[in-house]
Amino acid sequence: MKKTYPSQKTFTSTYLFSHWFSCLLLAAGISVSVPTYAQDARAQNYLEQAEFEMAKSEQSVDALNRFIETYPASRWRANAEYERDRLAYTQAAQQGTSAAVQAFIDAHPDSAWLPNAHFMLNRLKKDETARRGSASSSVASDESTNNTPKEKPSRYKKPESNRDQDRVTRALSIYGDRRAEKQRLKDEKRKEQQEEAKKRDACGRLKDSIRRLGERVVWYNLDDQGNRQYVSDDTVSQTRERLTRQYQKECG
């Protein structure tokens, strides 16, 4: 008959119950023999896996170290070491100091997380060096500022060199050109508005003349003696047509 093994869940429950029941009987002074699966390789593997999962769930470096020390030959040792190193590296990275990362490297020289640790160590050292340099520069700048006599406030800052003077000159020139261009555009716009107003008035007068010439009235002109010189209908019609063409050309 083929030998069968209990499942991991069944074994774990049975093992824990047997262990608890054995302890209870021993405490009562009763000697009892509890069945064990210590000689069974698969049962032992189930036990070690259960212990590893329990240590892993605690998210503790110490718990994983205890598992490694308790089961040095376990097939789950590599997983435990990986999880332990991951937790240790994460804790060192969260501290954010080169000393913490260096301590991780010293404690775990064979860790799979060693490349990450070396990369972070170099970056942290550069950042710390930069911060120290910035702090030193700030202190020196403060001391220099305190020892320098204060100048009398001036409305205009004096250029420090010919280059600064040239920059100021160019800036003033550009400002002047822009101001002149703005004024020119303003004048042109005002002139256009005046011309448009003059054109509207002329077109209005021209249109009124065309309207009046179309009315049925008698037109006449006064000579030098003040006598009336009547204008014929043909002349009035020709004048009206000429003014109409002029209006269409000039006023649209």
pLDDT for 144-168, tens place per residue? 556 655 555 555 455 556 777 777 7
Q: Which string of b and e fits 57-96 if b means at least 16 CB within 10 Å?
A: eeeebebbeebbeebeebebeebbbebbbbbbbeebbeee
61 in Cβ contact with 113 (< 8 Å): no
pTM of the model: 0.40
Distance CA 51, CA 65 (A): 12
Distance CA 212, CA 76 (A): 115
Distance CA 154, CA 193 (A): 46
The alpha helices in the chain, defined as continuous H runs, are 8-27, 41-57, 61-70, 77-95, 98-107, 114-147, 162-213, 233-251
Distance CA 107, CA 85 (A): 10
Which pLDDT does position 179 carry in this prediction? Answer: 87
Query: CB 102: neighbour CB atoms within 10 A?
Result: 16
**For the residues of 139-188, what is the DSSP string, one character each?**
HHHHHHHHHSPPPPP-SSPPPSSHHHHHHHHHHHHHHHHHHHHHHHHHHH
User: pLDDT digit string (tens) for 10-52?
Assistant: 555 555 555 555 555 555 555 544 445 445 678 888 888 889 8
Residue 39 one-letter amino acid: Q
Low-confidence ranges of the chain (pLDDT < 70): 1-40, 135-161, 216
